Amino acid sequence: QSVVTQPPSASGTPGQTVIISCSGSRSNIGDNSVNWYQYLPGTAPKLVIKSNYQRPSGVPGRFSGSKSGTSASLAITGLQSDDEADYYCAVYDDSLSAVVFGGGTKLTVL
Amino acid sequence: QVQLQESGPGLVRPSETLSLICSVSGDSMGIWYWSWLRQPAGKALEWVGRIHSTGRTNYNPSLWGRVSISLDMSKNQFSLTLTSVTAADTAIYFCGRDWGLWGPGTMVTVSS
């Protein structure tokens, strides 16, 4: 059981908007920046959002991140079939002195 | 551009020690966090630990006492050591720089 919680699954049709949540506590999301990864099993994780809302170079503007209090969200607008993947939030936890990953959300594009 | 590549034995026997090396090419190692991540088959990504260029380390509490990460900047490498391995340590292991750059991963199987 991870200290940051994500829904196990999410889905949407092409063109729709999907929002994936990440819930934690003051010691992690509350006091530190959240990062989001897109992951296809067996391949290198791809950082799609860093420091709560910043998009790394090359990541489409359809991806956006936000944070409020002890929760963070990843939004994907104009959903495409290529977006089908597992998405993870990751953040440093001051109490554990360790990085924690959420349990992952499997996004299905219907 | 900076690239990372994991290397090490693909098969480790139970109770023995897993050792992996991450080779960094394309730039000097500079001032970064150097990390290890793993994914057991069918399970979530799991952060293993990291080492800062100053030598400071952070480890996953669930691996405390078994995990160690070291840095050799003269060789542009850092390494992971995991002792007393079990089948639960079977996973794809990724090495990374800071949050955004990761190697392609290497599969490690723990089996007799």
Whether A6 shows a pLDDT value over 90: the answer reads yes
- Mean pLDDT across the stretch B84-89? 97
Report d(CA B46, CA A84) in Å as an integer: 20
Q: How many angstroms away from the CA of A103 is the closest CA of chain B?
A: 6
User: Nearest-CA residue of chain B relative to A51?
Assistant: B99
Provide the β-strand partners of residue A49: A36
Whether A2 shows a pLDDT value over 90: the answer reads no
Convert the pLDDT of each residue in A37-57 to its tens digit: 999 998 999 999 999 999 999
What confidence score (pLDDT) does residue B28 get?
80
- B53-65 in b/e form (b: 16+ CB < 10 A) is eeeebbbbeebee
Residues in B lying within 8 Å of A, measured between beta carbons: 35, 37, 39, 44-47, 49-50, 58-61, 92, 94, 96, 99-100, 102-105
**Interchain CB contact of A41 with B (< 8 Å):** yes
Convert the pLDDT of each residue in B12-48 to its tens digit: 999 999 999 999 998 888 889 999 999 999 899 999 9
User: Nearest-CA residue of chain A relative to B37?
Assistant: A45
